[in-house]
Amino acid sequence: MPRFEGFVPGRFPLDAIGAGGFRFAGMSHKGSIIATPAGIRIWPVTRFAEVTIESLQPLLDEAGTIDFLLIGTGPDIAFIPPALRDPLKQAGITVEGMATGAAARTYNVLVGEDRRVAAALIAVD
């Protein structure tokens, strides 16, 4: 299976998560990802404490194509603070935080329904 090298354009469901990464579009990637309607990209975040509004900039850049953002917070649920939630809300994006596994499953359902969804997913083992 080819390795993912940074960005793959297009909208893809996630085929598998775990072992520190993800499989999608016939590729595998170790580490976290951001999936938007435009494509899937590497996200250099390894734990929720590293999530900043700057790390979420790719989502703000595509705000016109995203209604709903799922943040996969790792193995456990974490509260999405106003410093992250408010700028996204101002850009028209509703945010929901949940454990990465649940976020990935929900993302796949919403992609299957052709919803305007994005996901920022912290890799889990």
Exposure string of 16-38, with b = 16+ CB inside 10 Å and e = fewer, is: ebeeebbbbbebbbebbbbbbbb
Q: Given this model, what pLDDT does residue 4 score?
A: 58
* Phi, then psi, of 114 in degrees rounded to 5: 60, 40
29-88 pLDDT per residue, tens = 999 999 999 999 999 999 999 999 999 999 999 999 999 999 999 999 999 999 999 999
Q: Given this model, what pLDDT does residue 120 score?
A: 98
* Contacting residues for 32 by C-beta, under 8 A, at least 6 apart: 42, 43, 44, 45, 46, 120, 121, 122, 123
Q: Given this model, what pLDDT does residue 6 score?
A: 85
pTM confidence score: 0.94
Distance CA 43, CA 118 (A): 13
Distance CA 74, CA 90 (A): 25
Distance CA 73, CA 86 (A): 17
16 or 6: which carries more pLDDT confidence?
A: 16
How confident is the model over 110-120, as a mean pLDDT? Answer: 97
